[in-house]
Structures are given as structure tokens and as C-alpha cells.
Amino acid sequence: MGSFVELNDTLRITAEQGFPADILDVNKHQLNRIKLEVVQGKVFEFHNKKGARLYHPAPNRCFLVQNIQDKWLYWGKIIILEQTIQGDSRENQTTSGKYQITEIYEPEYQKIVTSHESPQGLNYF
């Protein structure tokens, strides 16, 4: 018997899983850059990320990616403050946690990073 744990440097979540879509809106960001001050010091939670995952703990950064209908949209960098794995079997495991946003990409850079780092065919733009 063995174990499977996925190591991640990218937190890709939907609004339902805890992405702050009410604050980080891509259309607003493209028109008028959203600055870090809007989220600085706030603690956000994510939940029900399928599978057992370990994210780089603080002070190491992770990337924040919004999952919009399975398309990837890179927003910036975060630090993971807490993470919890729950479930009674491998098939039922989920990961939850808390994070802080430490950098928000400028709109043009966001497009570049998203186009270069998203898996083939999953670029939001």
C-alpha cells in the first residue's frame, strides 16, 4: 500500500472554492489595474480542492490562478498560511487552507504569464 500526495506551487481555484472574484475581476483589472493595497493583509480561504495536495508553506510563494470554466487566469503570488487534508479514502480527499495575496500582476503582464504558463489550450485569454 502506498500514498499519493501532490506537491503544488500553484493554487488554481474557482470562486466557489474561494477565489476572491468579487475583488479580483479580470474585466475591471484590464480597464483599471487592481492594486495590492485592496487585498493586502487580508486572509482568504480556499476549500474542497480535490485530492491531497501540499502547497509551499510561507514564506515561500505560490502562484494564484483563477479557474474560470477550466481556463487558467494567472493573478499573481500568494503565501499559504494553513492547509488541511481531509477525507476517508484517496478518492474522497480534499485540501483546504488559508492564503494571503502578496502580488497582483499588472494587466499586460497577467496576459503574458497566463499565455506562457497555462497548459496547452487552457489559457483564459
DSSP code string of 47-107 = EEEES-EEEPBTTSEEEEEEEETTEEEEEEEEEEEEEEEE-SSGGG-EEEEEEEEEEE--H
pLDDT at 31: 97
Residue-range domain boundaries for the chain: 9-117
Question: For every one of its 125 residues, what pLDDT tens digit does the chain have, with 9 covering 90 and above?
Answer: 567 777 899 999 999 999 999 999 999 999 999 999 999 999 999 999 999 999 998 899 999 999 999 999 999 999 999 999 999 888 899 999 999 999 999 999 999 999 999 999 999 99
Q: Which three cell numbers stand for residue 105?
A: 500582476
Give the per-residue pLDDT at 89: 87
Contact (CB, 8 A) for 99 and 110 = no
